[in-house]
Amino acid sequence: MFLAHKAGQPARTVANEEDARDADWLDLVDPTPAEHALASRIAGVAIPERSNLEEIESSSRLFTRDEAVYMSTPLVRRTDTEFYSSPIGFVLLKNILVTIRFLDYASFDVVARQVSGSSRKPAGDELMVMLMEAIVDRLADALEHVTQSLSRLSRDVFTGKRPRAGRMAAWQREILRRVGHSEDLSSLIRDSLMGLDRIAIFISESAKDVLSDPLKTRMATVNRDISSLNDFVAQLANKVQFLLDAALGFISIEQNDGMKILTVVSFIGVAPTLVAGVYGMNFKDIPELQWSFGYWYALGLMAASIVVPLLWFWRRGWLGGVR
């Protein structure tokens, strides 16, 4: 999809060069090869393809060419149940901004509504700053979502009601899945913030002439917001690691409790078997063989070999007794 945005007008689909006349912002959304070529002709510069936007080295993400400033970064998109990361690109020209993306982002929709609802024509640098502000705001919302998820996870791990024994394994797998989900999302947000931080630094230092003084102030504010969010992400990463360690610790405790039960069952089964084996030997001279109370003596000995270990395990706390 190829959209053209102009102040005071709704976004319109671009099918030819006439549709993009006097546009302030050209927005390529998962473009076809034909739309990509049309955008290059309208802008008069080369528009990077997805493979170029996915490069990880800074020199490929941030550079200037023919008076155009090229910038790209991965950007996370979160839904209620899923999250994705996809590259986005900016081509900043003197009077127009070209964006390339492959997913729908709420931050772009917010800026599009601001442009269509304004009667003042925005320059390309102002649109760039507006998009940066909206993207950082949406990433802050995503971090709030991660924080809430981790708070619920923390309650479930430390104070939540444990399921019955038959569902304990499923509960443990669910806890680990939620920890992994939170780590993946926070990692994608961290990558997005890192890319935005590089863009903000690049504009402030290498391409500072493209911004007016008021926009430089706004970009400095964006840079400070990104720094604070990076600190927040680092704190979340520590919390995720703590919850992972705690969850694995509880799983280890559950496994140890299971091994205790197996140990008790094994031990109380060995002693009676030993007594029965001794008195079941086919030797002629067994002292208790002709004893009238020998049978009851053997049964009592086997019962004692069960009860005494159980009492000992109970007092040790292995069966829920005193410690």
Statement to judge: residues 34 and 165 lie in one domain: yes
Range of lowest pLDDT (21-25, 52-56, 134-138, 291-295): 291-295
Which of 206, 239, 254 lies at the terminal end of a domain, its last residue? 254
- Residue 141 sits at φ, ψ, to 5 deg, of -65, -40
pLDDT bracket for residue 100 (50, 70, 90):
very high
User: Distance between terminal CA atoms of the chain?
Assistant: 70
Mean pLDDT for 101-105 is 88
Considering the domain boundaries, does residue 30 fall inside one?
yes
In the predicted model, is pLDDT for residue 322 greater than 60? Answer: no
pLDDT at 53: 87
What is the residue range of 225's domain?
2-254
Strand pairing of 97-101 and 25-29?
A: parallel
pLDDT at 57: 82
Mean pLDDT for 255-268 is 76
Statement to judge: residues 247 and 138 lie in one domain: yes
Which of 214, 231, 254 lies at the terminal end of a domain, its last residue? 254
pLDDT at 166: 61
Statement to judge: residues 98 and 184 lie in one domain: yes
Considering the domain boundaries, does residue 138 fall inside one?
yes
**Dihedral angle at the C-alpha atoms of 44, 45, 47, 52, nearest 10 degrees?**
170
pLDDT at 80: 66
Statement to judge: residues 61 and 78 lie in one domain: yes
In the predicted model, is pLDDT for residue 308 greater than 90? Answer: no
Q: How far apart are CA 17 and CA 38, in angstroms?
A: 7
Q: What angle do CA 41, 122, 27 make, to 5 degrees?
A: 40
Mean pLDDT for 251-257 is 76
Considering the domain boundaries, does residue 80 fall inside one?
yes
Q: How far apart are CA 154 and CA 160, in angstroms?
A: 9
In the predicted model, is pLDDT for residue 68 greater than 80? Answer: yes
Statement to judge: residues 21 and 140 lie in one domain: yes
Considering the domain boundaries, does residue 266 fall inside one?
yes
Which of 232, 254, 276 lies at the terminal end of a domain, its last residue? 254
Q: 96 with 126: CB under 8 angstroms? A: no
Considering the domain boundaries, does residue 322 fall inside one?
no
Long-range Cβ pairs for the range 245-248 (8 Å, 24+): 246/157, 246/158, 247/157, 247/172, 247/175, 247/176, 247/179
Of the two residues 210 and 49, the one the predictor is more confident about is: 49
In the chain the beta strands, taken as DSSP E runs, fall at 2-6, 9-13, 25-29, 62-65, 68-78, 83-92, 97-101
Identify the CATH number of the domain in which residue 242 sits: 3.30.460.20
Considering the domain boundaries, does residue 323 fall inside one?
no
Statement to judge: residues 206 and 195 lie in one domain: yes
pLDDT bracket for residue 272 (50, 70, 90):
confident
Statement to judge: residues 113 and 141 lie in one domain: yes
In the predicted model, is pLDDT for residue 259 greater than 90? Answer: no
pLDDT at 89: 92
Neighbours of 232 (CB within 10 A): 18
Mean pLDDT for 128-138 is 89
In the predicted model, is pLDDT for residue 244 greater than 80? Answer: yes
Mean pLDDT for 268-278 is 82
How does pLDDT run across 200-242, given as a tens digit for each residue? 888 877 666 667 777 888 888 888 888 888 888 888 888 888 8
Neighbours of 164 (CB within 10 A): 7
Neighbours of 179 (CB within 10 A): 22
How does pLDDT run across 34-44, given as a tens digit for each residue? 998 888 888 88
Considering the domain boundaries, does residue 321 fall inside one?
no
Statement to judge: residues 31 and 85 lie in one domain: yes
Q: How far apart are CA 271 and CA 273, in angstroms?
A: 5
Q: How far apart are CA 277 and CA 265, in angstroms?
A: 19
Considering the domain boundaries, does residue 203 fall inside one?
yes
pLDDT at 209: 66
Identify the CATH number of the domain in which residue 279 sits: 1.20.58.340
How does pLDDT run across 152-197, given as a tens digit for each residue? 888 877 876 666 666 777 777 888 888 888 888 888 888 888 888 8
Statement to judge: residues 212 and 311 lie in one domain: no
Statement to judge: residues 211 and 281 lie in one domain: no
**Pair of tokens at residue 79:** 């839904």
Statement to judge: residues 88 and 219 lie in one domain: yes
Total number of domains in the chain: 2
In the predicted model, is pLDDT for residue 323 greater than 70? Answer: no
Q: How far apart are CA 147 and CA 139, in angstroms?
A: 12
pTM, to two decimals: 0.74
Of the two residues 273 and 253, the one the predictor is more confident about is: 273
Q: 143 with 236: CB under 8 angstroms? A: yes
Statement to judge: residues 138 and 270 lie in one domain: no
